[in-house]
Structure 1
Amino acid sequence: MWEFSSYDLVIDARSPREYAEDHIPCALNLPVVNNEEYAEVGTLHRNDTHAAYLIGVQYSLANISRHIEEVISRVDPRGRILVYCFRGGKRSKLWAENLRTIGYRVDVLLGGWKAYRRWVRASLEQFPKQFTFRVLAGSTGCGKTRLLQALERAGCQVLDLEGLANHRGSLIGAVPGEKQPTQKWFDTLLLSKLRSFDTEKPVWVEAESKKIGNIQLPTCLHDAIGRATPLRLEAPMTERIKLWREDYPHFVTDPVAMVERLTPLKPLIGGEELQLWKDLAAEGEVDTLFERVMVAHYDPCYARSDRRSLPGLPTNPPLELSDLSAAALDAVAAKLASEAN
């Protein structure tokens, strides 16, 4: 496995656009060329290579000079620096030569970001096998994510996949005003989180489908979760509705928008059921709408999915959660944590 913590500074020399798509977690983006300059040089390179190199080096030296003044001047002169770009080529070389001239010890990542990305993908197809997962299952609104958070507060190792994906994992799971990470950045975050865990201790995770919004889970991880012995959670409908109200305040104020998001379900639930949802939304009957959506769609859907992906689920008695408040879940988490040790 690659280790980057021994470096005082890791420089990502790529453009901000490339950096935003994915990068080594500890890397600082000090681009040799910005997005516009990168596009300009690339376009020019197709017709006039010499002219492209001329303007590219001009941009690069100006940008590196600014980065040296603003950032590098504050780095310990005895520090070690790692530099990488897309393939470990010209942009890395420009940075490395200037840093070595100043006196820094500099390494260039062989193969650049592309090699790093290959390592991430390969690791995610093997590394999850090393862990013992404890899986929380159950229908929507029963407090799985909140119990995960309570388990983390209790000192347990917790893998919050929905948190990493910035999505609650259904048609209505998008976080208002926020985007999901790119698939590549999610993979990086996931591997970084897994590497922070002790393989000798269990990892708590929520049962998920293979996709969380636009994010695809690695097959190895999804299979490892599926092989685990699940713990099924159940909660009273009143608590589940209360949780939805707290987790989806935007649908409390605009239930019509929620039903619009759920319209693609019409082939599954039928036109009559969908019309009932529309009527409840139009009348502002939020609690009744939430309950109806759970009972008519999500409960049977989750039950089918869990039976298919979690073979051990039907034989295990459920954990009844009568209260989904933080204090109540902290007490449950403390008990589960003590039993796991």
Structure 2
Amino acid sequence: MTSNTNSSHQGPQHPPAPVSDIESIGGYFHTNRIEIQDFRYYALVVDLRPRIDFERDHLPGAFHYVPGDPDDSSGGARLAQEAAPRSYMPDPLGTLLARVRPGQRVLLYCTSGEPTARNLAAALRLQNLGVDVLPGGWDSYRQWVRAGLELLPRLVSWRVLASPLGCETSRVLDSMGAHETHQTLDLQRMAGWTAGSRQAAGTQPSQEAFETAIIDRLRDFSAERPVWTSFVPRQLGALELPPALGDAIAVSPLYRLDVPLPERLRHWRHSDAEDAGEPASGQDVADEMLAATLLGELAPDLEAQVSAVGISRRELPVLAFDSFEPAALSAAIRAWLGEEDDADDEDGEDRADEGEDEDGESSRPA
């Protein structure tokens, strides 16, 4: 999300077509519930709250501007009274408004609907700008986010990858996400937290920003295809998983990763070194201490987390691969998912029965 006025954010040339229910689950939970268009409809979204609040979280794509701050010598009251032409409005507001083309709209919001947004909107409308004000301001948006996080996780089918090492599931999700047919949600990366890492959680977003990022992704997902994520605890460092999302993950089909120990340790060491900003160690990847840590602490910890859910979940075929190298991992995922690897096959036949066992039941991931 954009956090300053120097961003390269560009508004759409034309308002996008409405998102349909078929295209994404965002159609089931639209921003019209808070009486505004979809965030991407607006050429410019302006947050008028104090900067400390903006930095904690803000609407997707929003820019920060406070009338009367040190960068605005005119003050919001005079701006509303004089309705200065856009080209003469104080920077950074004038710079932001230069992005808005005829026919495009601007969205303004304050903390809870105070006059600041309404006064600025009145001034901008006198300059023939189309301006919307978020009713109830930020408080209204946060209520919308909380309601959405209760509803949207229930509208998709989840597939959960389980490994004692979060860096492994993140790499698999990256590989899946490179293909447009796969929907992925890497909650660990979004939370700035990695399961099984020897490094303490780094800089994490605020709880509000974490929730905004989640709902922003959820609304783009299609209900027609599963969403892949990793098995995570409900507490990720300083952040909490939204309850409905945690419940959905807890009861969804679970897939485990099977990787040779030397490759697992090599990747673990490399990922931890990256997180610490250090070069990877040249130590033997089969080091007994690392192996003992991996097998003696992390794996049982994952088992304890899975068992602690207290719900019988369906476990599905293991994803086995020999290397985290992108090409090898991508090939293993394609084979595991039963995808066609022949680009010349044009008949699009359904090969679901290729994975059937002797009883006629598919062994392929759902």
Q: RMSD of the alignment, in Å?
A: 3.3
Distance 1:113 1:104 in 2: 22
- Shift in Å at residue 307 of structure 1? 2.6
Deviates more, 1:83-92 or 1:166-175: 166-175
2:162 matches 1:127:
no
Identity %: 30
2:116 matches 1:91:
yes
Match of 2:247 in 1: 223
- Shift in Å at residue 13 of structure 1? 1.3
- Kept after mapping to 2: 8 A contact 1:84/1:112: yes
- Shift in Å at residue 59 of structure 1? 10
- Shift in Å at residue 172 of structure 1? 3.4
For residues 39-75 of structure 1, what are the alpha-carbon distances to aligned partners after superposition, in whole Å with 9 as ceiling and x for unaligned? xxxxxxxxxxxxxxx9884799999622343221342
Residue 66 (structure 1) aligned to one of 82, 91, 99: 91
With over 3 angstroms needed to count, the CA separation of the structure-2 counterparts of 1:186 and 1:117, relative to structure 1, is same
Match of 2:141 in 1: 116
With over 3 angstroms needed to count, the CA separation of the structure-2 counterparts of 1:249 and 1:315, relative to structure 1, is closer
Distance 2:277 2:44 in 1: 46
- Shift in Å at residue 76 of structure 1? 1.5
- Kept after mapping to 2: 8 A contact 1:227/1:310: no
With over 3 angstroms needed to count, the CA separation of the structure-2 counterparts of 1:320 and 1:143, relative to structure 1, is same
Match of 1:146 in 2: 171
- Shift in Å at residue 117 of structure 1? 0.6
2:291 matches 1:323:
no
Distance 2:89 2:196 in 1: 45
With over 3 angstroms needed to count, the CA separation of the structure-2 counterparts of 1:199 and 1:298, relative to structure 1, is same
Counterparts of 1:145-224 in structure 2 under 5 Å? 145-155=170-180, 156-169=182-195, 172-174=198-200, 179-224=203-248
Deviates more, 1:322-331 or 1:221-230: 322-331
Match of 1:299 in 2: 299
SS at match of 1:125: helix
With over 3 angstroms needed to count, the CA separation of the structure-2 counterparts of 1:252 and 1:58, relative to structure 1, is closer
- Kept after mapping to 2: 8 A contact 1:141/1:241: no
SS at match of 1:87: coil
For residues 124-161 of structure 1, what are the alpha-carbon distances to aligned partners after superposition, in whole Å with 9 as ceiling and x for unaligned? 01110001001111322782221111111133000110
With over 3 angstroms needed to count, the CA separation of the structure-2 counterparts of 1:310 and 1:139, relative to structure 1, is farther
With over 3 angstroms needed to count, the CA separation of the structure-2 counterparts of 1:56 and 1:105, relative to structure 1, is closer
Match of 1:290 in 2: 290
Match of 2:345 in 1: none
2:46 matches 1:21:
no
TM-score by length of 1: 0.76
Residue 108 of structure 2 aligns with an amino acid whose one-letter code is V
TM-score by length of 2: 0.71
- Shift in Å at residue 26 of structure 1? 2.1
Q: What is the count of residue pairs matched by the alignment?
A: 296
- Shift in Å at residue 213 of structure 1? 1.5
Residue 226 of structure 1 aligns with an amino acid whose one-letter code is A
Distance 1:226 1:189 in 2: 21
Distance 1:126 1:101 in 2: 40
Residue 231 of structure 1 aligns with an amino acid whose one-letter code is Y
Residue 159 of structure 1 aligns with an amino acid whose one-letter code is L
**Which blocks of at least 5 consecutive residues in structure 2 are unaligned?**
1-29, 32-37, 340-363
Distance 2:249 2:41 in 1: 32
- Shift in Å at residue 111 of structure 1? 0.3
SS at match of 1:181: coil
Higher helix share: 1
